[in-house]
């Protein structure tokens, strides 16, 4: 596959602008901020820029002081930022709240079937009885993997894997290998049966990330890897010439959507040189959607499982959204990491362990060495050229 071409310093400048614009938005303690700040944390880990995390820390501390709302499955996504804050600072208050989130999922979150989480949100009126939404793979499944790994808590870790396997069983189509947006266990169907771009990005991104935590000897590794492999093989064949994906993946009359494209492209980057030609198109397409002030454009609004395909086509995409900022930052951060991926498939946890130790040094005021690493050319085997 041809090498990836991008200007590393230009990407870092864009990350700066997107992070700054993100912190000029207002967020509740809920999933829009959870995804936005997940992206900020990814940007921090890829660049070592302490100021990103300092801004997040200030926001989190203010919310803690104000008092936190009741939890939901979606709301747990804020925990991703808490885990990164704890890993970087060692401050127990962040870990304590993160543990409370995990305990909520373990003992209080509503479930159905074989322990699959019912999709719940921070609302007393929006109730979705026995519905599984693909969003939960990021909001809760991946979170349980991360905190289970951090704490060495097998119960949390295995529950995270249960969510991956349960959602795969309910949502991944056996013929197309794409993920449906949702499953209604009461009606026994996929409701409008739509292959939604951002939904598929939740699945692809978090499966790619999960493989960094799951030992290759664990049977779940092969199950997740197989689901991801087949999904990505289908997704690359649906990429538009502009390098993006339609909000309804198999409907070319629906608009090209940036946040889903960024999540899918992140997973492609983690698969390495195999998908370089598709990743290059995605780089060009996503960068074209970022304004000078760091606003990510072309992002669909918050999307329930709509009643029909027209519902998805009509979801507005004119405004800035936290998930658009966050998923784009995750993509840009992964783009910078490709220089470290000498085997062309970033599934080793070793890299993440090295990064975590260097990040802790950076936040505590010591030189991390990441800047030196970032300016060192990667071996030719990685299939990357930067300038």
| 24-29, Cβ contacts within 8 angstroms, sequence gap of 24 or more | 25/320, 25/322, 25/325, 27/59, 27/322, 28/69, 28/122, 29/63, 29/68, 29/69, 29/75, 29/78
Report the distance separating Cα 104 and Cα 111, nearest Å: 12
Report the distance separating Cα 35 and Cα 330, nearest Å: 10
Report the distance separating Cα 69 and Cα 85, nearest Å: 20
Report the distance separating Cα 278 and Cα 259, nearest Å: 16
Conformation bin of residue 196: beta by default, left when phi > 0, alpha when psi is -120 to 50: beta
CA angle 203, 222, 245 (to 5 degrees): 25
Element (H, E) at 44: helix 31-47
Element (H, E) at 378: none
Buried b (16+ CB within 10 A) or exposed e, 285-319: bbbebbeeebbbebbbeebbbbeebeebeebebee
Report the distance separating Cα 62 and Cα 81, nearest Å: 14
Q: Among candidates 170, 106, 162, 83, which has minimal Cα distance to 133?
A: 170
Is 385 in a helix, a strand, or coil? strand
Report the distance separating Cα 291 and Cα 268, nearest Å: 24
Task: Indicate which residue of 135, 175, 225, 353 is catalytic.
Answer: 135
Alpha-carbon distances of 188 from 93, 114, 180, 192, 203, rounded to whole Å: 42, 15, 13, 12, 21
66 noted as active-site residue: no
Which positions are annotated as active-site residues? 135
């Amino acid at each position: 596959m041809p090498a990836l071409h991008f200007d590393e310093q230009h990407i870092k400048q864009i990350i700066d602008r997107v992070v700054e614009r993100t912190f000029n938005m207002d967020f509740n303690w809920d999933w829009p901020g959870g995804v936005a700040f997940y992206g900020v944390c990814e940007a921090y880990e890829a660049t070592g820029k302490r100021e990103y995390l300092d801004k997040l820390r200030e926001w989190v501390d203010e919310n803690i002081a104000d008092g936190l709302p009741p939890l939901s499955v979606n709301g747990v996504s804020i925990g991703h930022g808490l885990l990164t804050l704890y890993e970087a600072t060692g401050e127990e208050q962040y870990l304590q709240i993160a543990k409370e989130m995990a305990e909520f999922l373990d003992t209080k979150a509503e479930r159905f079937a074989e322990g699959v989480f019912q999709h719940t949100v921070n609302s007393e009126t929006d109730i979705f009885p026995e519905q599984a939404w693909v969003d939960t793979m990021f909001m809760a499944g991946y979170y349980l993997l991360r905190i289970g790994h951090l704490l060495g808590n097998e119960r949390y870790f295995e529950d995270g894997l249960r969510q991956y396997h349960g959602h795969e069983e309910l949502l991944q189509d056996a013929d197309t290998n794409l993920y449906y947006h949702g499953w209604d266990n009461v009606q026994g169907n996929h409701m409008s049966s739509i292959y939604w771009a951002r939904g598929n990005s939740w699945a692809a991104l978090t499966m790619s990330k999960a493989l960094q935590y799951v030992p290759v000897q664990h049977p779940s590794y092969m199950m997740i890897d197989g689901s991801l492999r087949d999904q990505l093989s289908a997704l690359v064949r649906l990429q538009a010439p502009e390098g993006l994906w339609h909000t309804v993946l198999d409907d070319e009359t629906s608009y090209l959507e940036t946040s889903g494209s960024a999540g899918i492209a992140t997973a492609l980057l983690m698969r390495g040189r195999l998908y370089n030609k598709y990743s290059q198109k995605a780089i060009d397409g996503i960068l074209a959607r970022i304004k000078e002030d760091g606003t990510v454009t072309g992002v669909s609004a918050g999307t329930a499982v709509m009643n029909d395909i027209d519902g998805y086509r009509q979801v507005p995409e004119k405004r800035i959204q936290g998930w658009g900022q966050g998923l784009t930052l995750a993509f840009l951060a992964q783009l910078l990491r490709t220089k470290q991926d000498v085997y062309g498939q970033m599934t080793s946890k070793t890299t993440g362990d090295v990064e975590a130790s260097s990040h802790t040094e950076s936040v505590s005021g010591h030189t991390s060495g990441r800047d030196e690493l970032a300016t060192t050319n990667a071996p030719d085997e990685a299939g990357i050229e930067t300038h």
